[in-house]
Amino acid sequence: MPHRHWGTHALSDQQRLDLLEIFEERYRRKSTLITAQLPVAQWHEMIGEPTIADAILDRIVHNAHRIALEGDSMRKQKPRPLLTEARNAEINNP
Protein backbone atom coordinates (compact mmCIF):
# COMPACT_ATOMS: atom_id res chain seq x y z
CA MET A 1 0.00 0.00 0.00
CA PRO A 2 1.53 3.36 -0.94
CA HIS A 3 2.17 5.85 1.85
CA ARG A 4 -0.65 8.35 2.20
CA HIS A 5 -1.42 11.04 4.72
CA TRP A 6 -4.26 9.99 6.99
CA GLY A 7 -7.46 11.75 6.00
CA THR A 8 -6.33 13.65 2.93
CA HIS A 9 -8.36 11.55 0.52
CA ALA A 10 -11.06 8.89 0.37
CA LEU A 11 -9.77 5.32 0.57
CA SER A 12 -10.03 2.74 -2.17
CA ASP A 13 -11.53 -0.70 -1.48
CA GLN A 14 -8.04 -2.24 -1.31
CA GLN A 15 -6.75 0.45 1.05
CA ARG A 16 -9.70 -0.11 3.39
CA LEU A 17 -9.04 -3.85 3.46
CA ASP A 18 -5.31 -3.27 4.00
CA LEU A 19 -6.01 -0.94 6.93
CA LEU A 20 -8.43 -3.39 8.47
CA GLU A 21 -5.83 -6.15 8.21
CA ILE A 22 -3.12 -3.98 9.78
CA PHE A 23 -5.28 -2.83 12.67
CA GLU A 24 -6.71 -6.31 13.23
CA GLU A 25 -3.19 -7.73 13.45
CA ARG A 26 -2.05 -5.04 15.89
CA TYR A 27 -5.23 -4.91 18.01
CA ARG A 28 -4.37 -5.36 21.72
CA ARG A 29 -0.88 -6.58 20.81
CA LYS A 30 1.04 -3.52 19.63
CA SER A 31 0.83 0.23 19.82
CA THR A 32 -0.12 2.27 16.80
CA LEU A 33 0.43 6.00 16.52
CA ILE A 34 -1.83 7.97 14.21
CA THR A 35 -1.51 11.69 13.66
CA ALA A 36 -4.15 13.57 11.74
CA GLN A 37 -5.55 17.00 11.14
CA LEU A 38 -8.91 15.45 10.26
CA PRO A 39 -11.12 15.23 13.37
CA VAL A 40 -11.90 11.70 14.56
CA ALA A 41 -15.61 12.40 13.99
CA GLN A 42 -14.87 12.53 10.24
CA TRP A 43 -12.77 9.34 10.02
CA HIS A 44 -15.78 7.09 9.38
CA GLU A 45 -16.73 9.11 6.29
CA MET A 46 -13.10 9.28 5.09
CA ILE A 47 -12.69 5.51 5.36
CA GLY A 48 -15.96 4.91 3.51
CA GLU A 49 -17.77 1.53 3.32
CA PRO A 50 -19.63 1.70 6.67
CA THR A 51 -19.12 -1.93 7.74
CA ILE A 52 -15.35 -1.82 7.22
CA ALA A 53 -15.12 1.68 8.70
CA ASP A 54 -16.92 0.42 11.83
CA ALA A 55 -14.49 -2.51 12.14
CA ILE A 56 -11.42 -0.29 11.69
CA LEU A 57 -12.62 2.36 14.11
CA ASP A 58 -13.60 -0.24 16.71
CA ARG A 59 -9.97 -1.32 16.78
CA ILE A 60 -8.33 2.11 16.88
CA VAL A 61 -10.67 4.59 18.56
CA HIS A 62 -12.25 2.89 21.55
CA ASN A 63 -9.02 1.93 23.33
CA ALA A 64 -7.06 4.98 22.21
CA HIS A 65 -5.30 7.64 24.21
CA ARG A 66 -6.04 10.91 22.44
CA ILE A 67 -3.99 14.05 22.60
CA ALA A 68 -5.73 17.01 21.02
CA LEU A 69 -3.45 19.93 20.32
CA GLU A 70 -4.94 23.38 20.59
CA GLY A 71 -3.86 26.86 19.66
CA ASP A 72 -2.57 28.50 16.54
CA SER A 73 -0.72 26.55 13.92
CA MET A 74 3.06 26.64 14.11
CA ARG A 75 2.92 27.76 10.48
CA LYS A 76 1.27 31.00 11.59
CA GLN A 77 4.16 31.97 13.83
CA LYS A 78 6.39 34.86 12.89
CA PRO A 79 9.01 33.67 10.37
CA ARG A 80 12.60 33.46 11.53
CA PRO A 81 14.96 36.10 10.11
CA LEU A 82 16.98 35.04 7.09
CA LEU A 83 20.65 34.24 7.61
CA THR A 84 23.11 36.93 6.70
CA GLU A 85 25.58 36.17 3.91
CA ALA A 86 28.38 35.85 6.48
CA ARG A 87 26.42 33.47 8.73
CA ASN A 88 25.31 31.39 5.73
CA ALA A 89 28.94 31.06 4.55
CA GLU A 90 30.00 30.10 8.10
CA ILE A 91 27.45 27.29 8.24
CA ASN A 92 28.22 25.95 4.77
CA ASN A 93 32.03 26.22 5.10
CA PRO A 94 32.96 25.34 8.71
Q: Which of 6-10, 18-22, 28-32, 46-50 has the lowest mean pLDDT?
A: 6-10
C-alpha dihedral over 69, 41, 26, 64, to 10 degrees? 50
Full-model pTM: 0.63
Q: pLDDT tens-digit profile of 35-60?
A: 888 888 898 999 988 999 999 999 88
